């Protein structure tokens, strides 16, 4: 039974093949005309083919779009990484420039007082608060530092060492309320005393200016020869306000220090004691 079915299928396929060949032969010379059957088939197939082509183009566009998005995302990540790298390098360069400017200032300060031997030191700690009233250096007796050695930075006087260990030294700045410095007005040579005060954060008070002294705003104050700790001629600051005392015997003033006591990182220590006891 199974063999009979296979035999019938075989002959049916052969018959259909022959019919197709006959149709091809008879229609070979007359392809200028299309049969109604072919027209009917074309009416169905052509729109479907167009639809398939449109859909295929749409799919290809979407695939290309996704590929482009992935490519752009990858490119964007690379560019972002490059921007982050450049930003980091820029910050490093800015920090290097700031450090270079500070070191250049110290170099200029060193040249400003050439007669005093000096050693550089870095600030490694400070008391609580915004201002560097009391702070610590990374040098000590192993580096030749002693108590009462003078510290300078920026354009002038910072303070003096009051405590020293093998590898550290503590500095009291001129803005500390317990600090007093014998000074003078550079323009007139009138003597005075510069001292720190809590109410003048970052500034200093100047007392005992002679009542008849011709002091004006902008006058420079320097250390005097009367000091037990500080050598003469080191710039302290400039007068920004003058107060006449009721007794008229003397005047007082407020000065703006030439050192930025909010931002101290490197200093110079005059590594000799001005007046050995």
Taking only the tens place, the pLDDT of each residue in 234-254 is 999 999 999 887 777 888 999
Q: Does 44 reside within a domain?
A: no
Residue 276 lies in a domain: no
Same domain, 63 and 193: no
Q: Structure pTM?
A: 0.66
Residue 87 included in any domain: yes
Q: How far apart are CA 187 and CA 91, in angstroms?
A: 43
Do 260 and 126 share a structural domain? yes
Does residue 6 sit within a domain? Answer: no
* Bridge partner list, 6: none
| 224-242 core/surface letters (b: 16 or more CB in 10 A; e: else) | beebebbbeebbbbbbeee
- For 77, the domain range is 49-112
Give yes or no for a contact between 262 and 154, defined as CB atoms under 8 angstroms apart: no
Note whether residue 91 is domain-resident: yes
Alpha carbon 120 to chain centroid, angstroms: 25
In a 10 Å sphere around its CB, with 0-12 CB exposed, 13-18 middle and 19+ buried, how is residue 250 labelled? middle
pLDDT at 2: 47
Query: 162 and 90, same structural domain?
Result: no
pLDDT score for 47:
67
- Which pair of tokens denotes residue 144? 């030749």
Inter-residue contact 259 to 155 (CB < 8 Å): yes
pLDDT at 75: 81
pLDDT at 166: 95
pLDDT band at residue 229 using 50, 70 and 90 as cut-offs = very high
At residue 176, does pLDDT exceed 90? yes
Domain match, 126 and 166 both: yes
Number of domains in the chain: 2
* Domain closes at, from 91, 112, 133: 112
Looking at the structure, tell me whether residues 258 and 229 fall in a common domain. Answer: yes
Q: Which of 65-69, 113-117, 190-194, 258-262 has the lowest mean pLDDT?
A: 65-69
Answer for the pair 215, 242: CB distance below 8 angstroms, yes or no.
yes
Q: Are residues 81 and 194 in the same domain?
A: no
Q: 74 in a domain, yes or no?
A: yes
């Amino acid at each position: 039974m199974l063999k009979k079915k296979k035999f019938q299928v075989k002959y049916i396929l052969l018959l259909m093949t022959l019919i197709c060949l006959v149709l091809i032969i008879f229609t070979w010379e007359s392809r200028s005309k299309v049969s109604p059957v072919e027209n009917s088939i074309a009416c169905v197939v052509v729109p479907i083919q167009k639809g398939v082509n449109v859909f295929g183009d749409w799919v290809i566009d979407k695939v290309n779009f996704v590929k482009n998005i992935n490519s752009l995302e990858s490119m964007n990540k690379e560019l972002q990484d490059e921007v982050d790298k450049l930003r980091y390098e820029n910050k490093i360069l800015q920090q290097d420039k700031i450090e270079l400017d500070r070191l250049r200032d110290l170099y200029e300060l060193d040249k400003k007082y050439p007669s005093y031997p000096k050693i550089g030191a870095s600030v490694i700690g400070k008391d609580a608060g915004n201002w560097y009233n009391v702070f610590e250096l990374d040098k000590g007796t192993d580096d030749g530092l002693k108590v009462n050695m003078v510290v300078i930075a920026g354009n002038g006087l910072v303070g003096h060492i009051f405590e020293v260990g093998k590898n550290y030294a503590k500095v009291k700045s001129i803005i500390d309320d317990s600090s007093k410095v014998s000074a003078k007005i550079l323009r007139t040579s009138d003597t005075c005393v510069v001292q720190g005060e809590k109410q003048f954060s970052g500034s200093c008070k100047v007392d005992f200016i002679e009542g008849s002294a011709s002091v004006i705003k902008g006058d420079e104050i320097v250390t005097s020869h009367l000091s037990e700790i500080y050598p003469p001629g080191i710039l302290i600051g400039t007068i920004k306000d003058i107060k006449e005392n009721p007794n008229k015997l003397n005047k007082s003033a407020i000065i703006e220090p030439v050192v930025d006591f909010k931002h101290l990182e490197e200093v110079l220590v005059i590594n000799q004691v001005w007046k050995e006891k």
